[in-house]
Homo-oligomer: A and B are copies of this chain.
């Protein structure tokens, strides 16, 4: 008999056991790399790194919630391309003091959401150190219908839509939001999505990403921006509308479609969640907010930058 494995390897083995036999996985955790089947000619690749004290708080949030969020933000990226999530790699930097239950909780949070979205966790890395907890998830998706929806295809005259309600995710939704994977696929089937993004930095900031990549402008109608109950609760020196425009981590979909497609969506919403027409794309490369009395003012680049 070979000598016993160390407890650390045994823990990885228990995760591996729970991750066996997923669709398209020829070889999962346990070798130098996972071997997977590609489902289409094109693939989607994205990654998000979440840090204790920045994107979550281990002091007040559960490891299950944190693990869930780390995968959810990646699923949201795949949704924003109208893709189908397939495989995930998970890297963890664990504080030396983290108990085994912490790792198991993170794994449970990852696993339950992965199962819900038929996504196989196929590998990653586990290290430990004196620093705070870090989790990175990289995701591989298939392109639905062999065409991804980018940020770059919005055209003058297009209508702008957003799913769900915005603002105040800090009160809890940033941990529990459902990634809009199925909604994006339904939209991709029902209409021609010219451009799409998931709202992670905030509506205004992410709208700017679409405008820059599409080389167009926009007018946003303030009266039609869907404001969440949480944004109203949070209202402080900033109004509920400002929260809806500027708060990050809504993880709703912002997209542009032709007026014809837009009218069809308004006539019959194919989703089981709210869908709001919030403005239109303009040829003029500026971005303005139209108030209820029709006055226009420049929309500032609100929103939280995750970068640097």
Where the two chains meet, the residues of A that have a C-beta atom closer than 8 Å to any C-beta of B are 1-3, 5-9, 11-12, 26-27, 30-38, 40-49, 51-55, 77-78, 80-81, 83, 87, 89-94, 103, 122-132, 134, 136, 138-141, 143, 148, 150-152, 196-198, 208, 211-213, 217, 285-287, 298, 300-301, 305-308
Which residues of chain B are near A217, meaning CB under 8 Å?
Answer: 2
Which residues of chain B are near A141, meaning CB under 8 Å?
Answer: 33
* CA of A90 to CA of B45, assembled, Å: 11
The answer to whether A81 touches B31, judged by C-beta atoms less than 8 angstroms apart, is yes
Which residues of chain B are near A127, meaning CB under 8 Å?
Answer: 49, 51, 54-55, 306-307
Min Cβ gap A111→B in Å is 17
| Contact of A33 with B138 at beta-carbon distance under 8 Å, contacts A43-B38, A51-B93, A285-B1 already known | no
Contact pick for A12, options B80, B91, B134, B307, CB 8 Å: B307
Known interface pairs A1-B286, A2-B212, A2-B286; 8 further A-B residue pairs with C-beta atoms within 8 A, sorted by A's residue number: A1-B285, A30-B151, A33-B77, A33-B141, A43-B140, A49-B134, A94-B308, A134-B134
* CA of A152 to CA of B31, assembled, Å: 8
* CA of A48 to CA of B127, assembled, Å: 9
The answer to whether B151 touches A47, judged by C-beta atoms less than 8 angstroms apart, is no
* CA of A132 to CA of B3, assembled, Å: 36
The answer to whether A47 touches B77, judged by C-beta atoms less than 8 angstroms apart, is no
The answer to whether A80 touches B33, judged by C-beta atoms less than 8 angstroms apart, is yes
The answer to whether B53 touches A129, judged by C-beta atoms less than 8 angstroms apart, is yes
Which residues of chain B are near A53, meaning CB under 8 Å?
Answer: 129-131
The answer to whether A138 touches B89, judged by C-beta atoms less than 8 angstroms apart, is yes
What are the 10 closest A-B residue pairs judged by CB atoms, nearest first?
A138-B138, A33-B46, A8-B308, A32-B80, A49-B91, A8-B307, A33-B44, A136-B136, A38-B38, A47-B89
* CA of A83 to CA of B124, assembled, Å: 17
Contact pick for A131, options B51, B123, B213, B307, CB 8 Å: B51
The answer to whether B307 touches A143, judged by C-beta atoms less than 8 angstroms apart, is no
The answer to whether B41 touches A38, judged by C-beta atoms less than 8 angstroms apart, is yes
A122 to chain B: closest residue by CB: B45
Min Cβ gap A288→B in Å is 11
Min Cβ gap A20→B in Å is 14
* CA of A91 to CA of B48, assembled, Å: 7
* CA of A44 to CA of B125, assembled, Å: 15
The answer to whether A47 touches B91, judged by C-beta atoms less than 8 angstroms apart, is yes
A12 to chain B: closest residue by CB: B307
Min Cβ gap A46→B in Å is 4
* CA of A194 to CA of B141, assembled, Å: 31
A5 to chain B: closest residue by CB: B212
Which residues of chain B are near A93, meaning CB under 8 Å?
Answer: 49, 51, 134
| Contact of A3 with B301 at beta-carbon distance under 8 Å, contacts A46-B123, A93-B51 already known | yes
The answer to whether B9 touches A307, judged by C-beta atoms less than 8 angstroms apart, is yes
Q: List 24 A-B contacts (CB under 8 A).
A: A3-B208, A3-B301, A9-B305, A32-B77, A32-B78, A32-B81, A32-B151, A33-B44, A33-B46, A33-B77, A33-B80, A34-B45, A38-B38, A46-B89, A47-B136, A47-B138, A48-B125, A49-B134, A49-B136, A51-B127, A51-B129, A52-B131, A126-B306, A134-B134
